[in-house]
Structure 1
Amino acid sequence: MNTDERRFEVLRAIVADYVSNQEPVGSKALVERHNLGVSSATVRNDMAALEEDGYITQPHTSAGRVPTDKGYRLFVDRLSEVKPLSSPERRAIRSFLEGAYDLDDVLRRSVRLLAQLTRQVAVVQYPTLSRSTVRHLEVLAITPARLMLVLITDTGRVDQRSVDLGDVITEENVARMRAMLNSAMVGKRLSDASAEVAELPDRAPAELRDVVLRVSTVLIESLVEHPEERLVLGGTANLTRNVADFPGSLRQVLEALEEQVVVLKLLAASRDPGTVLVHIGEENEAAEMRSTSVVSIGYGSRDNLLGGMGVVGPTRMDYPGTMAAVLAVASYVGDILTAR
């Protein structure tokens, strides 16, 4: 083992001990707990070199050292691949998520599960409508002069709108309009469906033109709204378990999570369902999040990314375990929603 590799093993041991014990790590403890195969003097020299290079630091007057953001970054970058969860863990995730009955339930269960598995704050972004396609549009007459539109997308999202027609409509004309709208929209991305719907009033038979115009106006509003501004959060109380990890900034972190815009920006970077991204401490653009690490991933399939999900916690976190949990949950959520 060359010097660089040995020093990385020392760094890895410091990360492991500090994450599990929350105490700064000294050279004596490292030699006792880890089979590093070298003397205490060598470990002390390696720790001095790691400190000089900015990978570990000495908090206050403590004899021990703790990893810096740069140290955690090197540790995460050297994880050759994300270790999968055990078979029982994966089975438990699958059975918990498969019990969900609609999109909202899938996302609520996902955050609850992620928060429990990682003991951090879990965040899931609602599927981005811009990437969804129309599965079906149901048109129902509530009264002879009022319709209910139920738009269903391939991500399982259901959007209901009612339309006052200003005049009565026959069942036959409701059926004609349903057929016309579905042939224009089904299987199309929402933006394309919106463009098609906008042209329908001009193509509609004269006796339906006014009704189609009213329905089209309401539908276009529904199609172009972007609920990707919506997040589901879970496990916020987990942050308060380790207040010491957020010196003077826990309130800021909680406020940033509430604002959601900050977290949406972080999740926006997660564009690949196969790749876990880790933003550590100072790497976070938002000042309020610089005492945190964010582990995130896209969910869906490679050709149909639905949104992002991940966890927010202190920089002192179990990165391998957290990354494995985020990858596993995202994978199952993607399977469930793209198979619907």
Structure 2
Amino acid sequence: MNYPVVGEHVLGAVQGNWWSRRRRRDDVPSLPPGAVYVFRVGGNYRQFPEGMVFDPSHADVLDASSVSLVDTRARMVAVERTVPSVSEADHFTVQASFACQVTDPTVVARQGIIDVTVPLRAYLAGDSELPRVSAGHRVEEVNAVRREVSHRMTAYSAIVTPRVAGMSVEFVSAEVHASDDLRNWEQKLRDERRSQELLRGQRDFETQDTQRIAELLSQGSDYADAFGITRNRIDVAQAAARIHRTTDEDSARRNRAAEEDRAHARAREIADAQMRRDTVLTLLRQMGATDDYVDYHQVLEQVLRDGGGSAVPAVEPGPGRPGPDGPRRLNSGTDRPHDGFVKDEDDLLD
């Protein structure tokens, strides 16, 4: 950087008589803002009066062999130094910042300090303890190195103050930068982490949206239609027509179900009646085929009470063969049937 001396120019000798000697204005470069002229006259350096209008007939201007343009404004100057880490493959970069300002432009011009970072880098390199601060840390531990380097530079600048001839220099701060490889790696991890977080966020939003839609649909089609109408996704006339069509379909489906239930009930009644008839016929056949005494009144009462149940009442023989005073079999052939007995199957059905 060109600071504090921003330019140096050689001046030729001025020819002419003593009363007519004048230096051409083009021989002296224009002065930038914040800078002053320092002319070399013989072996001395003399500053042109600051704030004074440039006079080409001034004695220092006429006798000068060269001119320096010195910037007197305060500047913040940063210099860097690399320090090792625990690994030979990596290192840290220490950046120290100094507040600088020219106090004596003639001294600065005499020293020819074109770039003030040169003496400041030499000052920073003079701290032999600085590499030991970072040598025990891995490159990933850059925050710990920053803290220790800041403490070290504060102590070093207090004991050994930075000095540049003709200038005031003050240590301001120290920063530690990791290597470019680590920076690129951390940036890659950061980008990947952000992309994963973005993906998780998108999935969470999709899940929430799915749950919301499921809750919406669980409240019925009418609510879903109303929601679609408010969002201008469904036309009111179309929704009304679909609701009317759905209502008609539901009514027709209920009517079909009722018809099927009635038909099933009729079929069951017919089957039950047929089963009762079959049961009676089976019972009568069994009674007609046995030679034992049968109490038809008891059988008839049981048939009427069961109403054609699943179990067929068994025909049991009487307690014993009838005696001379008891009732006799229907088809004995000789005696007249008893008045309280059924004569045949037709009488039982009646």
Which TM-score bucket, shorter chain as reference? Answer: under 0.3
| TM-score, normalised by the number of residues in structure 1 | 0.22
Q: For the pair shown, which has the larger CA radius of gyration, 1 or 2?
A: 2
Structure with bigger RCO (C-alpha 8 Å, 6+ apart): 1
Q: Which has more helix, going by share of residues?
A: 1
